[in-house]
A and B are shown apart, each in its own frame.
Chain A
Amino acid sequence: MKSYLPAEYIVERDDEKCIRCKVCVNQCTYETHYYDEETDRVYSRDENCTNCQRCVVFCPTHAITIRKNPSAYRENAHWTTEVVKDIKKQAETGGVLLTGMGCDKPYFTYWDRLVLNASQVTNPSIDPLREPMEIRTYLGAKPDMLTAELEDGNLMLKTTLAPQLTLETPIMFSAISYGAVSLNVHEALARAAAECGTYFNTGEGGLHEKLFKYGNHAIVQVASGRFGVYSDYLNAGAAVEIKIGQGAKPGIGGHLPGEKVSAEIARTRMIPPGTDALSPAPQHDIYSIEDLRQLIYALKEATDYTKPVSVKIAAVHNVAAIASGMIRAGADIIAIDGVRGSTGAAPKVIRDNVGIPVELALASVDQRLREEGIRNRASIVVAGGIRSSSDVVKAIALGADAVYIATAALIAMGCTVCQKCYTGKCPWGITTTDPWIAKRLNPDIASQRLVNLLRGWSLEIKEMMGGMGINAIESLRGNRLHLRGVGLTETELRILGVKHAGD
């Protein structure tokens, strides 16, 4: 049974420019282009095109243009072309619609409706190029009080501090599992994290042996599938993260299809090659806050209390109360992934409809923890659609200690957000485990591009801080007076804890 669907994109090839080099034919992993010897021409199967732009930029004569297919169904604000096509696909297959990346719908982004402050006249701004500017961040539980004693004229700290992660910039690479992406991608993230003095998160697919040497810059994740989790793995990382949920698919599990489980991935995940890697929706040893405490302390025992334990949740309705419980359960870091959070594969209906914007979640969590007097007991890391240094600065002003980025990191490495990660055929060599395609991503270049991105963002963060007259990121944290809302309702302003611009 076939659905008659108009192609989403049209490949236009300027035949005068085309030199029949077949680069497009070789580069497209979806077999959109093909060469016909008889006519000596290159043709396209438009319906295969995902608009990843690989052929466009690789064509040496710039002969290719991808356009949105103008031939769409009749305009209808309710029954959009996307909706109609989705229904037809499901009528054909009886299946769940899959998608990749984060929610692409126009609602939900509050970062764009928050603006930052700057110093004018009444207090001086700071020039970060010539004055010290501190953006180092420590993640982990902070004590309720510090005790110090004078010993021979020196003030000696008597409080034993909980283990901390030291970030030279408040940006980490969010969980992306080996299996969802190739080993080259994992290596690029690991090397960039090491070079920038920050951390990458292994995701739930374990850590390849080759990357154990970057363990000091790894946050090793433990999810419901427990893939690749054993004592060497737990002790290899700088911190351990329990994954309860993910912004792209709160409340549901993961599923790495068997065809992506190659020999190396099987070895790292410790499952037979070719079998589905199922991550159940719940962790069956966690049905409550008390159970979460049990796993947190199991991990602390397994690592001899030397590493902070993070707990990652998707931003959902009762996020503030849940966060409070997580801290009381012993989490040293709480990671909150918003509705924009990305994924290698998720049911589209979940991605686009479940969860709340991370801005609102962050503001309410930070507020709640302050009211309860436990904000110091855990660091907050936010994730889910952080696109720029200004998103980072706004997140920190709203109360975050640091952010996780994943989509931005993939874009830095070549991703064009075509949302077809789940096919495993990423033409940019990122979300694939096919060795032939994975070779397209050079880890040397990719890690350098990640380092460059973090350097650029860090410089911009310092510029924005300097403009506000702030020289240490600690002074920005939860400093909502430096934020103003634009075009927000009273309720939104109340939840965000910010005033309206001009107020």
Chain B
Amino acid sequence: MSESRLVMELGFKMAEKISMHNGVWRVDAENMHYKELNKLLRLLNSKGVEHVELDNVYGQRYIGTGLRKPMRIDVHGTPGNDLGAFMDGQLITVYGNAQDCTGNTMNDGQIVVHGRAGDVTGYGMRGGKIFICGDVGYRVGIHMKEYGNKKPILVVGGTAGDFLGEYMAGGVLLVLGLNLKPKEKHQAKYVGTGMHGGVIYICGNVTHLGKEVKVMGTTKRDMAVIEKLAKEFCGHFNLDVEQVMAREYLKIVPVSHRPYGKLYAY
């Protein structure tokens, strides 16, 4: 769709905020409320726009939520909470840090963050991929689940806070610990507590595990999974995959798919 036609639909006020070059739409999000910004994204999405660059993003929430068609969104700035909540197949790249609840209950698509992400990243994720370059906050990857070939992937470049992978029911959570100093341990406590499905791969020592999980060494098959994800991760952030793969990984898996089977009388 041409720029002028879209601008006509959006009205004069929006016209100053958007521009198009080579099929890529640029939106200046400065002083835009999230409702306004997301309404614009939904409109562009419904018109079949495939690539949007958002400039001056200052904490607008729910970017990528409610979009029905494939779309690439590049975020310059700091997106707000619930980035890509319930997202279904779009691709978001953040050139900055993300806040809390990134990829909340995400169904499909990809979020790449060239920085850190906050608490509850990937909560209830049921598909798609999230790559965080730096550290993440508390309760990350909790209640991720999987069914059939729908398997969520969450890769963290740095370290994570407590309750990593809590209640995890499926998917793959990979923590690379790239910013840990030699012999430095992950500080996260209660890793995998209540976990009953899926797998956590982690590089570096974990000091405190939930009682529902056990630590194992990695097999060849595990290393193949890690390598595939590490390659993707390094591709996004321009890192050397060989260095990443030269390190040792632990595998954390649930002891049982029925952790609370013996909790009840009759």
Contacts and interface: CB of A to CB of B under 8 A. Distances in A.
B172 to A, nearest CB: 14
Given A284-B123, A285-B123, A272 B65 contact: no
Interface in B165-208: 166-167, 169-170, 194, 196-197
A180 to B, nearest CB: 16
A304 B62 contact: no
Given A92-B265, A258-B257, A272 B150 contact: no
Given A226-B124, A229-B86, A294-B82, A270 B265 contact: no
Nearest to B89: A231
Which are the 5 A-B pairs with shortest beta-carbon distances? Answer: A226-B124, A95-B265, A230-B107, A93-B265, A270-B147
Contact of A98 (B126, B169, B265): B265
Interface residues of B, number: 48
B85 A231 contact: no
Contact of B266 (A89, A226, A297, A303): A89
B20 to A, nearest CB: 23
Given A226-B124, A284-B120, A302 B66 contact: yes
Interface stretch (A150-158, A275-283, A355-363): A275-283
Interface in A182-223: 222
B132 interface: no
Give the size category of A's interface with B: 35 or more
Contacts of B264: 93, 95-98
B82 A298 contact: yes
A304 B196 CA distance: 34
A232 B68 CA distance: 9
A271 B145 contact: yes
A439 interface: no
Contacts of A328: none
A225 interface: yes
Interface of B: 34-35, 38, 42, 61-62, 65-66, 68, 81-82, 85-86, 88, 100-101, 104-105, 107, 120, 123-124, 126, 139, 142-143, 145-148, 150, 166-167, 169-170, 194, 196-197, 257-266
Contacts of B257: 258, 272, 274-276
A90 interface: yes
A275 B139 contact: no
A464 interface: no
Nearest to B42: A304
A114 B68 CA distance: 51
A267 interface: yes
Given A226-B126, A230-B86, A304-B66, 13 more contacts: A89-B265, A97-B265, A257-B258, A258-B257, A267-B147, A271-B145, A271-B170, A280-B143, A284-B120, A284-B123, A285-B100, A301-B85, A302-B65
B66 A271 contact: no
A298 B62 contact: yes
A382 to B, nearest CB: 28
Interface of A: 89-90, 92-98, 222, 224-227, 229-232, 234, 255, 257-258, 266-267, 269-272, 274-278, 280, 284-285, 294-295, 297-299, 301-304
Contact of A272 (B120, B147, B266): B147
A231 B69 CA distance: 12
B153 to A, nearest CB: 15
6 contacts: A226-B143, A271-B146, A284-B166, A285-B104, A297-B61, A302-B62
A295 B100 CA distance: 12
Nearest to B65: A301
A431 B258 CA distance: 20
A276 B104 contact: no
A105 B229 CA distance: 56
A169 B142 CA distance: 40
Q: Which of A97, A224, A269, A302 has the most CB of B within 10 A?
A: A302
Contacts of B107: 230-231
Nearest to B81: A294
Contacts of A96: 263-265
B66 A301 contact: yes
Nearest to B262: A95
A303 B257 CA distance: 34
A295 B104 CA distance: 10
Given A226-B105, A285-B101, A298-B104, A275 B261 contact: no
Given A230-B126, A275-B196, A302 B86 contact: yes
A450 to B, nearest CB: 31
A469 B170 CA distance: 59
A205 to B, nearest CB: 13
A301 B146 contact: no
Nearest to B80: A294
A276 B263 CA distance: 12
B62 to A, nearest CB: 4
A302 B169 contact: no
A251 B61 CA distance: 28
Given A284-B123, A304-B66, A95 B86 contact: no
A229 B146 CA distance: 12
Contacts of B85: 298, 301-302
B28 to A, nearest CB: 20
Given A266-B147, A276-B196, A230 B66 contact: no
A98 B265 CA distance: 7
Given A272-B170, A303-B66, A230 B262 contact: no
A6 to B, nearest CB: 15
A258 B261 contact: yes
Nearest to A273: B147
A275 B169 CA distance: 8
A275 B62 CA distance: 31
Nearest to B194: A278
Nearest to B258: A258
Nearest to A270: B147
A275 B258 contact: yes
Nearest to B147: A270
Contacts of B258: 257-258, 275-276
B248 to A, nearest CB: 29
A278 B196 contact: yes
Contacts of A94: 265
A38 B126 CA distance: 57
Contacts of A231: 66, 68, 86, 88, 107
A295 B61 CA distance: 11
Residue of B38, B86, B101, B197 with highest tally of chain A CB at under 10 A: B86
Contacts of B35: 301
Contacts of B42: 304
Contacts of B266: 89, 93, 95, 98
B105 A230 contact: yes
Contact of B265 (A90, A284, A301): A90
